[in-house]
Amino acid sequence: MSTTGLPPRRTPPRRPPARNEGNVRELILYVARSLVDHPDSVEVQERRAPRAVILELRVHPDDKGKVIGKEGRIARAIRTLLGVPANRQHQRVILEIV
């Protein structure tokens, strides 16, 4: 018992972060397929770099502008969305639109 008469507070054990690397890839596929006219031609390939994971998003040539958006706003938004699961996994994710 502590000096306040209450039992000491226990902190819950910390769980290691989930290593669901497919989540980031699935997120890109879902967002990109929602934006384009040719969802069957959307592909995501993963490459490992020393300090990051590089994801290459390939879309139909007619849909490239839809994924990039005016002044790159949609591409920037997709990269922002990728930051959330990447930070949870303690990774750096780079998205390249090819």
Helix (H) or strand (E) holding 57: strand 53-58
Residue 31, pLDDT score: 93
Q: In which residue ranges of the chain is pLDDT below 70?
A: 1-3, 9-22
Residue 96, pLDDT score: 94
pLDDT tens-place string over residues 56-82: 999 999 999 999 999 999 999 999 998
Give residue 68's domain range: 41-97
Spatial CA neighbour of 32 closest among 70, 71, 79? 79
Q: How far apart are CA 1 and CA 23, in angstroms?
A: 45
Q: How far apart are CA 55 and CA 63, in angstroms?
A: 18
First to last CA, the chain: 63
What predicted TM-score, i.e. pTM, was given to this entire model?
0.72
Is 86 within a domain?
yes
Is 31 within a domain?
no
* Total tally of structural domains belonging to the chain: 1
Bridge-partner residues for 44, per DSSP? 57
Is 93 within a domain?
yes
Is 29 within a domain?
no
93: CATH: 3.30.300.20
Is 80 within a domain?
yes
Is 4 within a domain?
no
